[in-house]
A and B are shown apart, each in its own frame.
Chain A
Amino acid sequence: MALLGLLDREPSHGYDLKRDYDAFFGRERPLPYGQVYATLARLTRDGKAVVGDAEPGAGPDRKRYTISETGKDEVETWLAEPIPAEPHFQTDLFVKVVLSLMLGRRAEEYLDLQRAAHLARMRELTDVKQKGGVVDTLLADHGLFHLEADLRWIDLTEARLVALAEAVAA
């Protein structure tokens, strides 16, 4: 959907779409070219994009893609839809704490290690914010708020460990 959305700005070559996708959405996981062209082929097949005539030159980038009315409608609908607000009920964090208690291990030690790892990642993201532009800040903030939510959970869980240990032992 991100590629189709980028195509909604203006007719583009696959190369332009990949470059912009990587710059905004794929910083840690750039999109392989193969996937770009496979997606564009699928969008064309499904009537969401229209491929122009081949332009002079070599390679697959000779073709310029244009979004269709169907494609525009799909982007419009997708942008207006909230994504499911899913609480992650069964995270690894939760499983590790419960299993530690079941196995008679010290869950506090695991929680301390996890807290330190979360804080270390938060420092990295704060660095990104301080050195980067507003797009970096937005991305880093998203990560920071999620990590902070985990940390609150870690703190509360630590305060509830005795009760939790009794519950899982029962």
Chain B
Amino acid sequence: MSAINASSAVVAGSTICEARNVVLSFGETPALRGADLSVRRGEVLSVMGPSGSGKSTLLHCLAGILVPDSGEVTFDGQRLAAMREEQRSRLRRDRFGFVFQFGQLVPELTAEENIALPLLLGGMRRGEALASARTWFERLELDGLERHRAGEMSGGQAQRVALARGLVAHPDVLFADEPTGSLDSLTGELVMSLMTTSARAEGTTVVLVTHEPRVAAYADREVIVRDGKVTAAVGASR
């Protein structure tokens, strides 16, 4: 575990991730033009906006995958830009979970090995990691698929395995980028329902990027990204 862990102030509702005036361009193309966003600890936040608005780029900045040209991103009060890449990498492994549009499972590994991956990378013994991974199969309605490989599962099953992999190490924040984008409506609903129920039960903060209102409706509140800036949606949250 990183040294950051020790400084964690676990206060529900306090800020866990923050972007302040974040600017980032890809070559000549601006993606973020001064984005501000504060994510509260324990909330499920949806980041909405049309395609090309910069919402995925913002998620990648918050997760320390991309480093902004200017502005500041913090996690637990610590500036990500001040960390070495190795520290950011450890932060992503130990404190963050990820779910992307296409599960991105390792095809050579079984479902349980895929789920155990973050634990194995964190140094846990194989037997212990697999045992921990197996506890997710019933919760995510995946019983019997422990030894299946990605190619032997439906899209919805693979995405639930990816979700379990994102949550297995009990991350502080789960970053989900269009997690239902490749699924039909019913399967997408199952994934969203399981994701939000599991995250709330674990106290995990979720940053969910989506362009679908029906997916965003699973969140506690939403913000909208337009032209690289964040508009806080007006109105009551859950």
Contact = CB atoms under 8 A, between A and B. Distances in A.
B59 to A, nearest CB: 19
Contacts of A145: 214
Interface of A: 112-113, 115-120, 122-123, 125-127, 129-130, 144-145, 147-148, 151, 155
A125 B50 CA distance: 23
A123 B213 contact: no
B213 A122 contact: yes
B219 A112 contact: no
Given A130-B193, A155-B50, A144 B214 contact: yes
Interface string B225-238: 00000010111111
A130 B193 CA distance: 7
B218 A117 contact: no
Given A130-B193, A155-B50, A119 B214 contact: no
A112 B222 contact: no
Given A113-B234, A151-B213, A119 B218 contact: no
A126 B235 contact: no
Q: Does more than half of chain A's interface fall in helix, strand or loop, or is it mixed?
A: helix
Contacts of B17: none
B217 interface: yes
B217 A125 contact: yes
Interface residues of B, number: 20
B216 interface: yes
A147 B213 contact: yes
A126 B217 contact: yes
24 contacts: A112-B231, A112-B233, A112-B234, A115-B224, A115-B233, A116-B234, A116-B235, A118-B213, A119-B213, A119-B222, A119-B233, A119-B235, A122-B216, A122-B217, A123-B220, A123-B237, A126-B214, A127-B238, A129-B189, A130-B193, A144-B217, A147-B213, A148-B213, A155-B50
Nearest to B236: A120
Closest 10 CB pairs of A and B: A116-B235, A122-B217, A126-B217, A116-B234, A116-B233, A120-B235, A151-B213, A148-B213, A123-B217, A123-B238
Contacts of A155: 50
B122 to A, nearest CB: 32
Nearest to A151: B213
Given A119-B222, A130-B193, A148 B214 contact: yes
A122 B236 CA distance: 12
B214 A113 contact: no
Given A115-B224, A122-B214, 14 more contacts: A112-B231, A116-B233, A116-B234, A119-B222, A119-B233, A119-B235, A123-B219, A126-B217, A126-B218, A127-B238, A130-B193, A144-B214, A148-B213, A148-B214
